Amino acid sequence: MEKALLQERKDIKLTGVERKLGREDVIVSKTDLQGKITYANNVLCRVSGYSLTELMGAPHSLIRHPGMPRCVFKFLWDTIQSGNECFAYVNNRARNGDNYWVFAHVTPTFDSKGQIIGYHSNRRAPARSAIEAIEPIYRLLLDIERSSTDRRLGLEKSFAALVAYLEKNKVTYDEFIFSITPN
């Protein structure tokens, strides 16, 4: 089933329609160390358009929107794999091609010996002002990624551009994210 879902994902045409989470909506999911979904709540199923059966065991990237720069996910994965939490604005793609923005809080899950055994993410509706602030940066990073014929090199260049942006503004990634997040 996973292979069929991933093929279907490639064929999904973007609709340009944005789904908006309600203020009370909280999307929750858990993954194993490889990013395969081990838990998904009803809100994720409803918003993404996938059933719980379809999501279980599928790679979390199933809902990745093609307009998201890969370097943001590299930063997120580097952060959580090192044992730290990460906050990020993420644009996801629903099964029918709609998109939905989330403000994600991703954390590693530890066993009793302190070893990372998976990851947990809570996502809420982001403020429109935060989306408006992050979109131009994401477009720039995505343009850098797409400008290279070598995907790995494009990722490296966009990641370097993200790091340079943070250094130029003398902020950490978390400081940047929270600077555009309304109280």
* Residue numbers of the chain with a pLDDT score lower than 50: none
Strand partners, 124: 103
pLDDT of residue 9: 67
pLDDT, residue 7, reads 64
Q: Tell me the CA distances in angstroms from 89 to 10, 85, 130, one per residue in order.
A: 23, 14, 8
pLDDT score at 183 = 72
Closest listed residue to residue 163, CA positions, set 130, 141, 134, 133:
141
Instruction: Judge whether 102 and 90 are in contact, CB under 8 Å.
Output: yes
Helix extents (H) in the chain: 2-11, 42-48, 52-55, 70-81, 128-146, 151-168, 173-179
pTM of the model as a whole: 0.92
Per-residue pLDDT, 1: 59
Mean of the per-residue pLDDT values of the chain: 94
pLDDT given at position 3: 67
